[in-house]
A and B are shown apart, each in its own frame.
Chain A
């Protein structure tokens, strides 16, 4: 229902715009333009003030929390496993078009909702995607935003460190750890780390 309301809000924007496009110069067109302007301002103002996202009318909500010394920071780190069980940190663009941080969120929130067979299919797919990216990197190719434009490509907004090194042989498995630390503790101290998933061919 909520998504339907959001769709209707976008369709209303289109309808008001079509009305402007249809009319020739004159007072009626000016009224139609005023209605379109008012609609965009009200929609944008409402989502901005209420923080109720209705993309492409959006609240631009990011980094709004207050950071403290005891704020807990968590990350899910994904590794490919070679035949000798050595872990290779996966590049954040390994699953392009889905970026590492989005996949992290998905793994944390969605894995527990899947049945065992569904989970197996999802992880097998991710392993296959990681292997495709390994092959591309091993052949000297680029991933994600660098694939066509090289360094001139637009990166994803969260600039995670790149991990271009890959093994020469195919990945035999995937492993993910959930790692947490506090801001005050910092990355220098040993963080808490737990195995989130492991999948093998």
Chain B
């Protein structure tokens, strides 16, 4: 039993992987972070907001992220450094250092958007996986261009994939905990659609709400997709099947309840980069 668990652990985390796994991970999470930051150019401006707005957050929560009343100009300077570090990480310039600086500064800036309300949805801001991924990449070895497959290229890649899969798996656990299996019913989906239509004006909300079979299919599809998501780390085939299913899931959510998933481009992490790399660089015969 113990030997079996050790073998699975070894296979999941330490089977040799092509260096492209790490390079692709670094490029994808850097691009994702840059996309979100360029979509939030006013983030440092939060430093300008008066003290009254911190009445809910208190002092300890912002301080945890280094939000300690630094001058706006200083925050803007850090924001520029963050962009430069992400660009360096993207092109592989001093990758460990640039990934570390990027990860730490993202940890500082990601909560800005919701800090005054106590981070209710910071997990959905699109920067959660990049923060952890960039730091993990800074701990692991830098991949050598066309280097031999190595366990050092596998564990960081698989860990980042798993952290991304958690953004599907944990919501399933949360639904089961707070609502039970009844969350995954046609009736619940119907009322979610009706409840959100006046808030977001989602274009297919009313159409879906009137069709119990469609609501039921959405409920069961949600359960299957979220509950099976950790398989993406165990099986490249499962990961490849997950990508189109998740894409359809997110497009459906936008159309039916009006929730956007800013981490959508991170689905690229689930491509079989190991196989792509090995096809590109076949071993000498």
Do A and B come together as binding partners? Answer: yes
Q: A residues touching B (Cβ–Cβ < 8 Å)? A: 2-4, 6-7, 10, 13-14, 17-18, 20-21, 25, 30, 33, 36-37, 40-41, 44, 47-49, 51, 53, 55-69, 71, 73, 75, 96-99, 102, 105-106, 109-110, 113-114, 118-119, 121-122, 125, 144-145, 147-149, 153-161, 181, 183-184, 186-187
Chain B 94-128 residues near chain A, CB threshold 8 A: 96, 107, 110-114, 116-117, 119-126, 128
Decide if B68 is an interface residue (CB 8 Å cutoff).
no
Q: Which among A4, A121, A145 has the greatest number of chain B C-beta atoms within 10 A?
A: A145
CA gap between A66 and B155 in the complex, in Å: 38
User: In the complex the two chains form, is A96's CB within 8 Å of B170's CB?
Assistant: no
User: In the complex the two chains form, is A67's CB within 8 Å of B188's CB?
Assistant: yes
Asked whether A6 and B52 contact (CB < 8 A) given A48-B166, A157-B124, the answer is no
Chain B 1-23 residues near chain A, CB threshold 8 A: 13-14
Question: Which residues from chain B contact A73 at a C-beta distance below 8 Å?
Answer: 195, 198-199
User: In the complex the two chains form, is B50's CB within 8 Å of A160's CB?
Assistant: no
User: In the complex the two chains form, is B171's CB within 8 Å of A106's CB?
Assistant: no
Chain B interface residue count, Cβ-Cβ cutoff 8 angstroms: 85
User: In the complex the two chains form, is B170's CB within 8 Å of A63's CB?
Assistant: no
Q: A53-B123, A102-B116 are in contact. List 13 more A-B contacts (CB 8 A).
A: A55-B119, A59-B173, A63-B171, A63-B257, A71-B195, A99-B113, A102-B117, A110-B55, A121-B52, A157-B259, A159-B202, A160-B199, A161-B201
CA gap between A17 and B43 in the complex, in Å: 28
User: In the complex the two chains form, is A60's CB within 8 Å of B116's CB?
Assistant: no
CA gap between A28 and B250 in the complex, in Å: 42
A64 contact from B107, B119, B175, B194, Cβ within 8 A: B175
Binds A, one of B34-42, B234-242, B271-279: B34-42
Decide if B53 is an interface residue (CB 8 Å cutoff).
yes
Q: What are 9 residue pairs bridging A and B, where the CB atoms are less than 8 Å apart in the complex?
A: A3-B63, A21-B138, A97-B42, A97-B43, A110-B55, A110-B56, A110-B116, A155-B39, A160-B258
B128 contact from A56, A97, A187, Cβ within 8 A: A56
CA gap between A159 and B39 in the complex, in Å: 15
User: In the complex the two chains form, is A98's CB within 8 Å of B113's CB?
Assistant: yes
CA gap between A194 and B100 in the complex, in Å: 49
Q: Which among A59, A65, A157 has the greatest number of chain B C-beta atoms within 10 A?
A: A157
User: In the complex the two chains form, is B135's CB within 8 Å of A60's CB?
Assistant: no
CA gap between A109 and B117 in the complex, in Å: 9
B113 contact from A51, A102, A155, Cβ within 8 A: A102
CA gap between A41 and B161 in the complex, in Å: 12
User: In the complex the two chains form, is A113's CB within 8 Å of B171's CB?
Assistant: no
Question: Which residues from chain B contact A68 at a C-beta distance below 8 Å?
Answer: 191
A14 contact from B128, B135, B179, Cβ within 8 A: B135
Q: Closest CB-CB distance, A200 to chain B, in whole Å? A: 18
Q: B residues touching A (Cβ–Cβ < 8 Å)? A: 13-14, 35-36, 38-43, 45-46, 49-50, 52-53, 55-56, 60-61, 63-64, 96, 107, 110-114, 116-117, 119-126, 128, 131-132, 135-136, 138-140, 152, 155, 159, 162-163, 166-167, 169-171, 173-175, 177-180, 182-183, 188, 190-192, 194-195, 197-202, 254, 257-262
Q: Closest CB-CB distance, B269 to chain A, in whole Å? A: 16
Q: Closest CB-CB distance, B114 to chain A, in whole Å? A: 5
Asked whether A71 and B116 contact (CB < 8 A) given A56-B107, A59-B174, the answer is no
Q: Closest CB-CB distance, A150 to chain B, in whole Å? A: 10
Q: Closest CB-CB distance, A34 to chain B, in whole Å? A: 8
Q: Closest CB-CB distance, B89 to chain A, in whole Å? A: 15
User: In the complex the two chains form, is A125's CB within 8 Å of B183's CB?
Assistant: no
User: In the complex the two chains form, is A56's CB within 8 Å of B198's CB?
Assistant: no
User: In the complex the two chains form, is A97's CB within 8 Å of B46's CB?
Assistant: yes
User: In the complex the two chains form, is A64's CB within 8 Å of B171's CB?
Assistant: yes
Asked whether A64 and B166 contact (CB < 8 A) given A55-B111, A156-B260, the answer is no
CA gap between A58 and B263 in the complex, in Å: 14
CA gap between A25 and B192 in the complex, in Å: 52
Asked whether A17 and B136 contact (CB < 8 A) given A33-B155, A60-B171, A67-B195, the answer is yes
Q: Closest CB-CB distance, A55 to chain B, in whole Å? A: 5
User: In the complex the two chains form, is B178's CB within 8 Å of A118's CB?
Assistant: no
User: In the complex the two chains form, is A21's CB within 8 Å of B116's CB?
Assistant: no
User: In the complex the two chains form, is B39's CB within 8 Å of A3's CB?
Assistant: no
Asked whether A63 and B169 contact (CB < 8 A) given A56-B132, A106-B116, A157-B125, the answer is no
User: In the complex the two chains form, is B50's CB within 8 Å of A62's CB?
Assistant: no
Closest to B258 in A: A159
